[in-house]
Every structure is written in C-alpha cells, then in structure tokens.
Structure 1
Amino acid sequence: MSDFVTTIVGPGDWPTVGEFFEPKGLVENCWCTYFRMTAKERSSCGTAARKDRLRELVEGGERVGVLGTVGGVPAGWIGVGPRLGFPRLARSRAAKLLKGDDPERIWSVVCLYLTRDHRHQGLTKVLIDRAAQWARDEKAEFIEAYPEDDRDPAAVFERGSFRGRVTTFESCGFTVVEPRLQSRALVRKDLR
C-alpha cells in the first residue's frame, strides 16, 4: 500500500499517537506501557496514568516506537527500542537473555498492531523493517522479538495478540533462536 507512511515517533507526534491509543480507538487504553513499567508500577496506575506516562515519554523526546499512518490517520504501531528501556523484559520467560548476551546491544520489539482494515496487506512487514532499520541506525547489534510461533498449522492464538507471528518476522530476515513457552519463540535479526 503506497500511502502507508511510517514515522519514528517524535515529540510532535503525540496527537496522532494519542488518537491511536484512545478509548474507542485502535488498541483501547494499552498506551504501550506494559513492558515500559515494572509489574508493581503498572498495577498501581490506571488508564489515565498510563496515558500520561506515554505522553511524557513522547513529548519529552523519547522515541518509543514506529507509527504507521494512512492519509494522516493512525493505522499501525510497533513498540520498539533498546531492550534496557523495557524493565518488564528482565523477568519475562519469553524474553530471557541467552548466555553471553549484552542487553545494551539489543533492541526489542514488544508489541505490534495494525487496524483491522489494514491487515493482510504486508504492512506488518513494513513496520518490522522500519524498526530494524532504526535499530541498525542506532548501532544496535541485534533486534529481537517474542512472537507467537505459527509454524505449526494446528497452532491456535488469542485473537488480540500483539506479539506478531514467527513467519512474519522470518520473512523480514529474523531467525528463530529457540522456542519459548508453549507457543512462542525468540527471534532475532543480526544488524552488524
């Protein structure tokens, strides 16, 4: 789709990012904070506090993800950044570091979402490729994700999954490092 534009979120993008996450919006109150907070922090704040947290990050200049728009209207999102910016990953079994990993050199994709009317058009790949290029530009050695492992045709996933699918990441040059949990995998792309 030629009118799908991807933008690394910057301070001036809050209105569009806010529109994407608003109630009755595309992902309804997630505010891309789940991995950006510890479990204790997240459990102690409601929707309004999560919105304020994301707004402060965006308006403060922290580049929190890549937003995809069609005609200026938000249509897709990939939450991505340096792994150390996602404290919840430290305790995640799906995102467990491998022996010898340097977390300062790894970027993580923590969520991926497209609006219903923009799915099945290859736009997820556009978001993933843009995130990988951004990580490379920032001198990351690897970018990784923790998607649903859809290589088994009998696999069943929750409908609202925000993790992406292994085969989609593979089509973007990621490789499966190892299966994780019952239906997930650690996938990485070497950016060196």
Structure 2
Amino acid sequence: MPTVTIEPATSDRFDDAQHALTGGGDGRSCQCQWWTLTNAEWQKTSQAERQELLRHEVTAGPPPALIAYVDGEAAGWVRIGPRTSQIRIARTRIINESTREPLEDESVWAVSCFVVRKEHRGSGLTARLLAAAVDFARENGARLIEAYPVDTSESPKKPSNELYYGVLSTFRDAGFVEVARPKPDRVVVALDVT
C-alpha cells in the first residue's frame, strides 16, 4: 500500500508543486492561476508569467494549496483558501448568482481546483486531498467551504481536463451539501466547518 502524505504548498515545496501540476491536464499551462486572475489578466499572461505568479503566491503565503505525495513523490494538488483571494469566483455568473454567502465574507473558503498526475488517477487521491483541504480550512479559520463541482451523472463523457473542479460524488461523500445547481452538470456545494 503506497504511503500518502499531504502538505501545504510552501516556498520550499515549489518544485514539488510544479511536479504535481505538470502530470497531465491543464495544470502546466494554468499554474493554478485561473481563479486568481480576471479574464483580461489571464488573456495577457503567458505560462511562464503564470508560473511566476504562482511562485510569488506560494512564497508570500499563506499556502494557497495542498500537495499530495505518494511514496514521497508529488502526485496531486488542491487549491483551498478564502474565496475573496480567488477573484474570478465573484466574477463567475453561475457562482455569484448561486451562492448563499456574501461574496466579501473572508470566512468563506473555496476548493476550486484539483490536479492529479495521470499515473495516480483513480486511486482515491482527490478524496484524500479534499479531506485534507477541509481540515486545513477549519484549522485556519474558515467558517464555511464552498466548491463548484461537476455532476458526472449529468455529463458522464466529460474529458478529465474539465474535471478540475472536482466531481460532485467526491464532495457528497465528504459531507458537502448541494446549495444550487446553476447548470444541469454544475453544482454549488457547501460544508459548514464551525
């Protein structure tokens, strides 16, 4: 049985973050900056610039994400942090029209992105990352955690690149409840962590 550990994405783990993000999917090009930039800013940045933005974010702290290690090798990533630090969330209509929480409330955190290297998909790593993200948010003052997963029962043929939000069943299994369904396959879920 492989040994799985999950650690905060800190500056000394930046190379590990890169390894986790570059194992397939859009992680390499996105650098987990999609939620931190406006659309105009996103369009103006290159992959190298987004990598430097992530480096700055990780160095400045607090950690914007967690990294999963399988037998000591970086294998996955989850972005977790205050929703207010992920500015695109407030600008995303299907979210801002569906949330029950004030958008400026810093005690509301968001799980917005998962990346799991191809060789570790299907091993339950996403569920472990989510459990660690919930603990991390609770320990760092979150009152509520929101997420915006895909309901694969409504769109079972989604390519893996479109599942970076996570899948609804993983969130339900972790105790999240559906608070809105802005599209048949897109759901807003929440978990009270007080």
Check whether TM > 0.5. yes
Does the C-alpha gap of structure 1 residues 100 and 46 become closer, same or farther in structure 2, counting only changes over 3 Å?
closer
1:157 aligns with 2:158: yes
Q: Please give the per-residue CA displacement for 1:164-186, whole angstroms capped at 9, x wherever unaligned.
A: 11111000111111112231000
| Corresponding residue SS for 1:7 | strand
Question: Which segments of 5 or more consecutive residues in structure 2 lack a partner in the other structure?
Answer: none
The percentage of aligned residue pairs carrying the same residue is 28
Contact 1:107 1:135 in 2 (8 A): yes
Q: Distance in 1 between matches of 2:167 and 2:149?
A: 5
1:139-154 mapped onto 2 (5 Å cutoff): 139-152=141-154
| Corresponding residue SS for 1:163 | coil
Which of 102, 113, 116 is matched with 1:114 structurally? Answer: 116
State TM-score, norm by structure 2: 0.89
Quote how far apart the aligned CAs of 1:100 are: 5.2
Q: Distance in 1 between matches of 2:74 and 2:153?
A: 30
* Structure 2 residue identity aligned to 1:157: K
Q: Distance in 1 between matches of 2:66 and 2:101?
A: 29
- Which 4+ runs in 1 deviate beyond 4 A? none
Which residue of the partner structure matches residue 55 of structure 1? 55
Quote how far apart the aligned CAs of 1:44 are: 0.9
| Corresponding residue SS for 2:106 | helix
109-118 vs 40-49, greater mean Cα deviation: 109-118
1:127 aligns with 2:129: yes
Which residue of the partner structure matches residue 13 of structure 1? 13
CA RMSD of aligned residues (A): 1.8
Question: Which segments of 5 or more consecutive residues in structure 1 lack a partner in the other structure?
Answer: none
Q: Distance in 2 between matches of 1:117 and 1:18?
A: 16
State TM-score, norm by structure 1: 0.90
Which residue of the partner structure matches residue 82 of structure 1? 82
Q: Distance in 2 between matches of 1:9 and 1:126?
A: 16
Counting matched residue pairs gives: 189
Contact 1:151 1:167 in 2 (8 A): no
| Corresponding residue SS for 1:28 | helix
